[in-house]
Amino acid sequence: MTASPAGPPADFDPPRRPDPATLLTVQQHILREQDRLPGAGGEFAWLMSGITLATKMIAARVRRAGLTDLLGAAGNTNVQGEEQQKLDVYANDALLHALSWRDSVGFVASEENERPVAVHHGSPAAKYAVVFDPLDGSSNIDVNVSVGTTFSVLRRPADGRQDVSAWVLQPGRVQVAAGYVLYGSSTMLVYSIGNGVHGFTLDPSVGAYVLSHEGIRMPEQGRYYSVNEAYADEFPGPYRAFLGHVRGGGLGRRYASRYIGSMVADFHRTLLKGGIFLYPPTADSPGGKLRLLYEANPVAFLAEQAGGRATDGARRVLDVEPASVHQRTPLVVGGRTEMDAFERFVGGPAAGDRV
Ligand code: AHG
Ligand code: MN
Ligand code: MN
């Protein structure tokens, strides 16, 4: 040991630099990245830890679903008249419970609750609203197919308004953070706080989401289109014409179709492999089936952050001003080549990178 010129030798070791080859957990990543958010302190990381904790609980239940009495209907219908599965109820309770411990959360709104739930909205510490679909694609659980959770984080109203509409009914372009967890062959969390899209795989041996997909970019052109073609006769003309164009080789290559029926799983494939996912207006759902606030907005935010786009057929999804919590929307999301072509068919907004 050598004496430093400034004094006696130190009786401690120098700091160890983190080894980039070692695991980076989502919590470490959020702590590193949250400096980008004006006014965010450790409470944003604490909020996100509520989501990661709840989704790990949900993942554990989903994994055991076939072994225990967790499959099937819970005997209730939710506000949208859809039958609730037992795991819908469990997933909703897990998220509500985990987030209710976070002082920074003012309101939460869920697909499974008719009205938003007040958490700490009266407290000056409450900076965020969180909206989520606790279990997306839940009709797939009974047949052991991937399901997911989607979430969106919104900032409290800048003008100090306390009404729930001001907290929750905000356009997707102002989302602070958005993401999803996919309970697939592995469990993955994908999120963005406006700094690109990053994916973490749950390592069950340590119980942590570990960085596995940094800076995801959607390929400019893919090989799949994804839509429920059983309803094709009901789609508006431009949607049918676009799909015919794709099938006919109009995009310069042969496409295959893939449709899981869990939006998270269908979007995840589109994010990683490119292509296009569509849930058009149909006879049953003329305004689309998917929900704007907690399904379309998170996916649209991630798509744009990864170099893709999302439209409702007429407008950029992120620019739609929501009027109600459970508002539905058509959704078309994909990579640049497919979205350019789709927008030519619907006469939508001029193609261009809006990130
Ligand atoms: P949820 O299970 O949350 O109600 O959502 C199901 C949604 C979505 O995941 C999927 O894209 C779509 O329903 C599939 O609907 P169709 O069966 O009409 O294609
Ligand atoms: Mn859903
Ligand atoms: Mn759901």
The strands making up 187-192's β-sheet, listed across from edge to edge, are: 117-118, 105-110, 128-136, 147-155, 177-183, 187-192, 198-203, 208-213
- Atom from ligand 1 closest to the CA of residue 139: 2
Ligand 1 midpoint to CA 261 (Å): 6
Query: Which of 257, 259, 279 gets mutated to test ligand 1 (max ligand atoms within 8 A of its CB)?
Result: 279
Using CA atoms, how far apart are residues 148 and 166, in angstroms rounded to an integer? 27
Nearest CA to ligand 1 atom 7: 137
Q: 167-181 in b/e burial notation, b at 16+ Cβ within 10 A?
A: bbbbbbeebbbbbbb
Tokens encoding 148:
């997911």
pLDDT, tens only, 87-118: 999 999 999 999 998 999 999 999 999 999 99
Ligand 3 midpoint to CA 336 (Å): 28
Ligand 2 midpoint to CA 304 (Å): 20
Distant-in-sequence, close-in-space partners of 270: CB < 8 Å, separation ≥ 6:
218, 222, 224, 226, 276, 277, 308, 333, 334, 335
Q: Strands of 167-254 (E only): list them.
A: 177-183, 187-192, 198-203, 208-213, 224-226
Using CA atoms, how far apart are residues 290 and 276, in angstroms rounded to an integer? 16
Mean pLDDT over the full length of the chain: 91
Percent of the chain residues past pLDDT 90, beyond the cut: 76
Tokens encoding 182:
């996919």
Percent of the chain residues past pLDDT 70, beyond the cut: 92
- Atom from ligand 1 closest to the CA of residue 135: 3
Kindly report the pTM of this predicted structure. Answer: 0.91
Task: Pinpoint the alpha helices (H) of 16-85.
Answer: 26-33, 42-64
Ligand 1 — pocket residues by CB below 6 A?
82, 111, 133, 136-139, 228, 261-263, 279, 289
The arrangement of secondary structure in 21-216, i.e. its CATH architecture, is 2-Layer Sandwich (3.30)
Residue tagged 């080789």 (tokens):
249
Checking 240-248 for CB contacts under 8 A at 24+ apart, the result is: 241/345, 242/341, 242/342, 242/345, 242/346, 243/278, 245/341, 245/345, 246/276, 246/338, 246/341
Domain ranges of the chain: 21-216, 224-353
Q: Is it the case that residue 4 has pLDDT exceeding 60? A: no
| Residue 178 main-chain phi, psi, to 5 deg | -155, 155
CATH class of 224-353: alpha beta
pLDDT, tens only, 41-99: 788 999 999 999 999 999 999 988 777 766 667 777 777 666 667 899 999 999 999 99
Identify the CA nearest to 96 among candidates 81, 83, 85, 112: 112
Tokens encoding 95:
């998220």
Nearest CA to ligand 1 atom 17: 261
